[in-house]
Amino acid sequence: MKAISSRDNPAVRRLHALAGSARERRKHGETLLDGAHLLTAALQVGWPLKEVVVSDHGLAQADIASLLERAAGVPVLHLPDRLFAHVSPVDSPSGVLAVIDLPAPPPVKTLRDTVVLLDGVQDTGNLGTILRTAAAAGVADVLLTPGCAQAWAPRVLRAGMGAHFVLRIHEGVDAAERLAAFPGPVIATALAAGARNLYQTDLARPVAWLFGAEGQGLSAEVAALASETVIIPMQGAIESLNVGAAAAVCLFEQVRQGQRSS
């Protein structure tokens, strides 16, 4: 374990850059995992850790001490709490983080099973939540258009809670090109007249789901790819849901229908 106490140390400067800059993450080909839960999820699937960073507070936590034992052989940096807070990618430092390599893009292949396409989703919490929901619903491939937040940003990873390690995440995709040969319906949620009730729509089949940005929804180009539109029935004066909540409702209605038909 190597102890560092200076903010000017090159390792500290690199960690600080990785925490806050997508450009620096791309430059170094690395990103940060924050928190014992996320590091544990990575170790459970054999995801390689390049370096572990722990604070004074972290070393005093039994779960983090156990985690360091599981990560035996991985270089460890020990930072004072104030310095760890400086490099932490979140507002409330967890006491432990790890450096990993950004993964290579997954291979391009014909999509035949249910897939989620996200268009311009920039909120890191929403993006991570949708990735987690997709993984929980059994989706294997998630496509992100160029307007989305960086999928492997530390805050997205934290919100995903390990989903990144079991998904194939395709960034910067051309939506029309990737969905051109999709064998099932391409479905978008909409408030417009003519949209079918979600619960009256046949979802016991492969579906390409389209979910758009938090404010403006789908771009015109992506919306035009939809072969069907559905609406989520809501009570009272509420007209719409957060995109993360809408994705959860749609994906788990599909899960429910699939279980009923099996």
Cα(241)–Cα(146) distance, integer angstroms? 23
Strand 96-101 relative to strand 51-55, pairing? antiparallel
Rounded alpha-carbon distances, angstroms, from residue 63 to 57, 90, 204, 240: 12, 19, 42, 40
Per CATH, the number for 115-261 is 3.40.1280.10
Average pLDDT over residues 117-124: 96
Flag whether pLDDT at 151 surpasses 70: yes
List, in sequence order, every residue forming a beta bridge with 53; answer none if it has no partner: 77, 97
Q: What is the pLDDT of residues 202-240, one digit of tens each?
A: 999 999 999 998 778 899 999 999 999 999 988 877 777
- CA–CA gap between residue 26 and residue 79 (Å, rounded): 25
DSSP 56: H
Counts of helices then strands in the chain (DSSP H, E): 11, 12
pLDDT in tens, 71-103: 999 999 999 999 999 999 998 899 999 999 999
Choice among 29-38, 154-163, 207-216, 242-251 with the minimum mean pLDDT = 207-216
Tell which CATH classification among 3.30.70.100, 2.40.10.340, 3.30.1330.30, 2.40.160.20 matches the domain 2-101: 3.30.1330.30
pTM, rounded to two decimals? 0.93
Average pLDDT, the chain: 94
Domain boundaries, the chain: 2-101, 115-261
Output the 3-class SS for 112-161: CCCEEEEECCCCHHHHHHHHHHHHHCCCCEEEECCCCCCCCCHHHHHHHC
pLDDT of residue 262: 65
pLDDT class for 108, splitting at 50, 70, 90?
confident
Q: Which two tokens stand for residue 207?
A: 């579906």
